[in-house]
């Protein structure tokens, strides 16, 4: 089985004018969180201490020069700048985007250098982070590029629901033209493999949603279900994947049918994320399947409207940390169970995934 030694978690600061740092502090305002993991924030230690005082959070914050020096029992912080973080709460600014980028870059370098085991990313502002050094729609695409992976799958996960999306950060007007049988099969296979390898679900049952209202009503409200999605479902079944559908999204979630499946494959971003966040907001986790490393994030954004007011909740970021640790342990178990027995000894005790 996977090792029980503490998982070293690299955590990005996110946009310094949003709720990321407050969520980090509140997530670790619980000594039990420090028993099984060693959290390392990439940002500015003294600024984090000042915000802990502002938000009345009691957590031991220790500055470390290197993430590898972090010890159990405290929230460690690697300084990515010598200057204090002075938030202009709720204000989108290029300088804040640059700080978020530097934090992400430092955390990714720490992961690649085996300084941390997994990555948890606090929310960024996808507009202000854009620069000559960052030209991606979000974290997911940036990490796929860094890893040299052509395609990844965004999965929103909670204790009761896991939703993957075939098209992620794509304008709604482009969704239909972006869909294809092969793309659905590819993402359905990625969801199936992740449910087994990352979540420990043997023979997962997957529901595939339609694109049009009422899943097209047999072609009356669109042909994509008949020409693209149903053939993809059949192709997945030919690969011994328990895929079912296509289902009309409204009735599928409204009736509670999602409870009978281990995973749901939505055709586009809001089709999957709106019901997920309605059912699990504040406790859900964004997980990126298909990367050679483990990356999670909370299921919310920068929440500029409440930034700095002490109203943010650390539950989703806490859940993201636990899921990152659980997925890494599950991957170690999965490798041991599927490896050549003569090679198992090489897979034990702290083998870290890296870019």
Pairing of strands 295-298, 285-289: antiparallel
Q: What pLDDT score was predicted for residue 342?
A: 54
Write down the pLDDT at residue 337.
73
Which of 142, 143, 162 has its CA nearest to residue 258?
162
Write the CA distances from 101 to 98, 107, 335, integer angstroms: 5, 10, 33
Using alpha carbons, list the distances in angstroms from residue 232 to 188, 193, 243, 337: 9, 16, 9, 30
Please state the φ and ψ torsions of residue 177, each to the nearest 5 degrees. Answer: -75, -20
CATH number for the region 1-149+291-355 comes to: 3.40.718.10
**Residue 346 predicted with pLDDT over 80:** no
Per-residue pLDDT at 347 exceeds 60:
no
Query: Looking at the predicted structure, is the pLDDT value of residue 351 above 70?
Result: no
Give yes or no for a contact between 323 and 283, defined as CB atoms under 8 angstroms apart. Answer: no
User: Would you call 336 helix, strand, or coil by DSSP?
Assistant: helix
DSSP code at position 257: G
| Adjacent-strand bridge partners of 263 | 206
In this prediction, residues 301-326 reach a mean pLDDT of 96
Question: Using an 8 Å Cβ cutoff, are 191 and 163 in contact?
Answer: no
Task: Answer yes or no: is pLDDT of 154 > 70.
Answer: yes
Note the pTM of the prediction, 2 decimals: 0.90
Q: Which of 119, 25, 10, 100 is nearest to 308 (CA)?
A: 25
Instruction: Flag whether pLDDT at 269 surpasses 80.
Output: yes
**Model confidence at 353, in pLDDT bands (50, 70, 90)?**
low
What was the pLDDT predicted at 175?
A: 94
Taking CA 27 as the corner, what is the angle to CA 37 and CA 25, rounded to the nearest 5 degrees?
105
Tokens representing residue 17 in the block: 């004018």
**Domain edges within the chain:** 1-149+291-355, 151-289
> 168: left (phi > 0), else alpha (psi -120 to 50), else beta?
alpha
Closest by CA to 10, choosing from 143, 127, 125, 126, is 143
Residue 333, pLDDT score: 82
Whole-number mean pLDDT of the chain? 92
Which candidate, 278, 276, 261, 347, places its Cα nearest to that of 286? Answer: 276
Q: Is the pLDDT assigned to residue 336 strictly greater than 90?
A: no
Q: What percent of the chain has pLDDT over 70?
A: 94
Rounded mean pLDDT of 176-201?
Answer: 96
Q: How many CA atoms lie within 13 A of 311 on its CB side?
A: 11
164, 287 Cβ separation under 8 angstroms: no
Estimate the crossing angle of helix 315-338 against helix 181-197, to 10 degrees. 90
- Locate the DSSP E strands across 50-110: 61-63, 75-79
Q: What is the pLDDT of residue 113?
A: 94
**Band of pLDDT at residue 99, cut at 50, 70 and 90:** very high
In the prediction, which pLDDT does 282 show? 77
Q: Which fold has domain 151-289?
A: Isopropylmalate Dehydrogenase (3.40.718)
């Amino acid at each position: 089985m996977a090792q029980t030694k503490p998982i070293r978690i690299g955590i990005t600061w996110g946009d310094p004018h949003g709720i990321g740092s407050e969520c980090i502090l509140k997530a670790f305002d619980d000594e039990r969180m420090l028993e099984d993991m060693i959290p390392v924030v990439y940002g500015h230690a003294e600024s984090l201490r000042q915000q802990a005082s502002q938000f009345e959070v009691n957590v031991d914050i220790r500055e470390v020069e290197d993430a590898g020096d972090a010890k159990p029992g405290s929230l460690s912080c690697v300084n990515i700048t010598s200057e204090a973080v002075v938030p202009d709460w709720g204000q989108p600014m290029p300088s804040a985007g640059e700080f978020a980028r530097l934090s992400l870059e430092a955390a990714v370098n720490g992961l690649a250098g085996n300084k941390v085991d997994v990555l948890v990313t606090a929310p960024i502002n996808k507009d202000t982070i854009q620069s000559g050094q960052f030209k991606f729609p979000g974290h997911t695409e940036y990490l796929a590029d860094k890893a040299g992976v052509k395609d990844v799958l965004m999965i929103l996960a909670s204790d009761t629901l896991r939703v993957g999306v075939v098209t992620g950060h794509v304008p709604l007007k482009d969704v239909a033209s972006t869909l294809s049988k092969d793309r659905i099969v590819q993402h359905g296979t990625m969801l199936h493999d992740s449910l087994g390898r990352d979540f420990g679900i043997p023979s997962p049952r997957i529901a595939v949603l339609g694109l049009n209202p009422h899943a097209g009503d047999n072609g009356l409200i669109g042909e994509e279900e008949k020409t693209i999605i149903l053939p993809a479902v059949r192709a997945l079944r030919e690969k011994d994947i328990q895929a079912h559908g296509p289902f009309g999204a409204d009735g599928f979630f409204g009736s509670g049918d999602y409870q009978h499946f281990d995973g749901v494959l939505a055709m586009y971003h809001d089709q999957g994320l709106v019901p997920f966040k309605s059912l699990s907001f504040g406790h859900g986790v964004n997980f990126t399947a298909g990367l050679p490393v483990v990356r999670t994030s909370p299921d919310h954004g920068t929440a500029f409207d409440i930034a700095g007011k002490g109203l943010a909740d650390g539950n989703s970021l806490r859940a993201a940390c636990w899921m990152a640790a659980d997925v890494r342990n599950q991957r170690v178990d999965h490798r041991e169970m599927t490896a050549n027995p003569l090679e198992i000894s090489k897979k034990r005790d702290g083998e870290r995934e890296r870019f």
